[in-house]
A and B are shown apart, each in its own frame.
Chain A
Amino acid sequence: MPKLIRLKDGEAFEAQDLFADVADEDAIPAGPVILSLTRFQAEGDALIGAGQAVGVRIEAGESVEDLAYDLPRLALVALVFPKNTDGRAFSSASLLRQRLHYAGEVRAVGDVLRERALFMMRCGFDSFVPTDGSTPAEWAATAERYRHVYQPAQDGRTPAFAERL
């Protein structure tokens, strides 16, 4: 089982992943699941109605705006990095937090590297499935490497211009 790192109140720790990541061709198991956007749009209502916890997996080319009305019912949103150099999920996460006011879990999945920890956390990701075997301590160390940041973002850090006041 891949490691899941969660972030809470500025602390990174290893957590148990209770969610089954369900491929489109697989049957839906009992318990918490993560579905693709298409599958969620087809079957999500019924599952949620039946009391199952459902998260949605958004591919890099898909729009988080398509989830706008469903967000309050979702257990999590997983944003896919198809390659670690593909930065679309950074925009998706920012939009989820800033524009769609989503307060639930935003999970980084796919090719997720420690080197990106700072960027991910700043854009509002709060859980991560790293592909490079990072421990929570390594993850946190990378994310905290910079004592200052220039931009206001979703992590609430005070940007340089505000520190300078």
Chain B
Amino acid sequence: MYRYDSIDKAIVEDRAQEFRGQVSRRLTGEITEDQFKQMRLMNGLYLQLHAYMLRVAIPYGSLNSRQLRRLAHIARTFDKGYGHFTTRQNMQFHWIKLAQAPDILDSLAEVDLHAIQTSGNCIRNVTADPYAGATAEEVDDPRVWSEVLRQWSTLHPEFSFLPRKFKFAVTAAEHDRAAIRVHDIGLILHRNDEGELGFEVAVGGGQGRTPYLAPTIRQHLPAGSLLSYSQAILRVYNRHGRRDNKFKARIKILVAALGAEEFARQVEAEWARIVAEQPDADLPAIELARIRGAFTPMNFETLPPRSAAFDAAKAGDRAFARFVRNNVKVHKQAGYAVVEISLKAIGATPGDISAEQMDAVADLGERYSLDDIRVTHEQNVVLPHVKLDDVPALYAALEAAGLASANIGLISDIIACPGLDYCALANARAIPIAQSIAQHFADQDRAELIGELKIKISGCINACGHHHVGHIGILGVDKKGEEFYQLSLGGSGAEDASLASILGPALPANRVPEAVDQIVERYLALRQGEERFLDTFRRVGMAPFKEAVYAEAH
């Protein structure tokens, strides 16, 4: 956890203060809703179908127990007792009263949280690998660099009114848990042959109506040059990105129009000039070291790699063993594990968490995970540093809180956007579709037999539910006022990123679980060895699945 100093605190407080003034100008009628809209959108406050929605930034998905308790408090006091984790590692409250929004921001500021740049055409919350600092795969901690970006992008003088919103994602591991290739800038930390730390820089990925995977424009950027290089990319985009059509305004369109090579050339030319004329464009080494040092040190104990208590519980309790198989991952430190908490209980709303559950997770994170709690872009929660010895007790506590679903990465671990239940832009509902599919695959043995299968659902073409990168993607469409769903197969947001292709004509809601079932059955029939669904699909192609879903309709 990065610990705020007095400067970081002051900036968040000043923002809350500024927003209070703006809201009061609106409430007294000094400014119109139209004028106010620009201001509230800079503060993550949206007007939705039924109420205001406030989006709180969770920088790179990292929270401590105090912060999570505060989110619980806000859910209880100002909302209907729950919050919603998004695919951007943020938390949304969907039932907010405008007059109370300033109090919420003040309350958040007390625990170093805010809603700065969670909306608007600016640099949004940076997302990162939720296993940062816990996985043996990484060459460095991506949170340090994410925090460098967070500070630099906060109220950036030049880049706060871009053609469109702009999202960074950072990872330092081979296994991509941050969907790097579908971000405006995806950064992959690595060491080059000389052992120097640097970033592979991918630019111009995105979802929405025209999905693109980000091409790499630079193989190795020295880590210390992150900000000057980002400045160059943003400047080229701010000046040349399209502003005439909001659907063509993301950087992916500029990169695709120019071609990755020409875009890279322009960035490199701009970068060379920035470096020459602006000696302070990058942070000095001492400030990089200060930021690194401001993260709470992780004092891991020296433990044996195996735990008798853990092994005994696994042998004696089938449910616990299942939880371990699916939700417990390898930690870099012997005797520790990464534990994922699924927010996808069968029948639940993906990403929703009640105030009581937030408090429970906060307590457990404090007790068992060095006060470190993470949110994933797959709308689950991670306790990154749990001693193997403690996993059985943690599991029991999760069970008591209704948070012990053992389905991470399985077919019922579905990503869904809020859809027509909340969102003014939606064509169709997403949540009930997720629920009906999860219910259909409630049999855990069968779910495990199917193995890794990522279903992602969006209520409209904006793709907040990441359907383009679902192994099975589901998109809500409107057919003459009725909700229909278009299925696509073969997408991935991980290190083997790919975009899904459309299966066939859209289906009515009640056909969706059955169609997913038909796809799954065909996969099980075709699977060779240990193949995941995605592997089988890539081997055999679309035809057998198309046939499975549409054949009998004729």
Contact = CB atoms under 8 A, between A and B. Distances in A.
A31 interface: no
A132 B273 CA distance: 37
A98 B7 contact: no
Contact size class for B? 35 or more
B284 to A, nearest CB: 7
Among A98, A151, A154, A165, residue most surrounded by chain B Cβ atoms (within 10 Å): A151
A8 interface: no
A85 B7 contact: no
A148 B156 CA distance: 12
Interface in B1-47: 5, 7-8, 10-11, 14-15, 17-18, 35, 38-39
Contacts of A84: 38, 161
What 4 A-B pairs are tightest by C-beta distance, nearest first?
Answer: A87-B161, A122-B157, A161-B287, A152-B280
B554 interface: no
Contact of B5 (A122, A151, A164): A164
B5 A86 contact: no
Contacts of A94: 157-158
Contacts of B17: 145
A87 B42 CA distance: 14
Contacts of A165: 286
Contacts of A153: 157-158
Chain A interface residue number, banded: 35 or more
Given A91-B239, A113-B38, 14 more contacts: A85-B38, A87-B158, A91-B235, A91-B238, A94-B157, A98-B277, A115-B38, A123-B158, A146-B11, A150-B11, A150-B151, A151-B157, A152-B280, A153-B158
Contacts of B217: none
Contact of B7 (A86, A123, A160): A160
A159 B279 CA distance: 14
B155 A90 contact: no
A148 B5 CA distance: 12
Contact of A164 (B7, B18, B38, B154): B7
Interface string B260-291: 00000000000001000110110110110010
A87 B238 contact: yes
Interface in A105-140: 113, 115-116, 118-119, 122-123, 132
A88 interface: yes
A135 to B, nearest CB: 14
Nearest to A122: B157
Interface of B: 5, 7-8, 10-11, 14-15, 17-18, 35, 38-39, 121, 151-152, 154-162, 235, 238-239, 243, 273, 277-278, 280-281, 283-284, 286-287, 290
Nearest to A155: B157
A146 B7 CA distance: 10
Contacts of B278: 98, 152
A149 interface: yes
A26 interface: no
14 contacts: A85-B38, A85-B161, A87-B238, A88-B239, A90-B157, A115-B38, A119-B161, A146-B10, A150-B152, A150-B156, A160-B7, A160-B8, A161-B287, A164-B287
B14 A147 contact: yes
A99 to B, nearest CB: 6
A146 B155 contact: yes
A101 to B, nearest CB: 9
A99 B273 CA distance: 8
A63 to B, nearest CB: 8
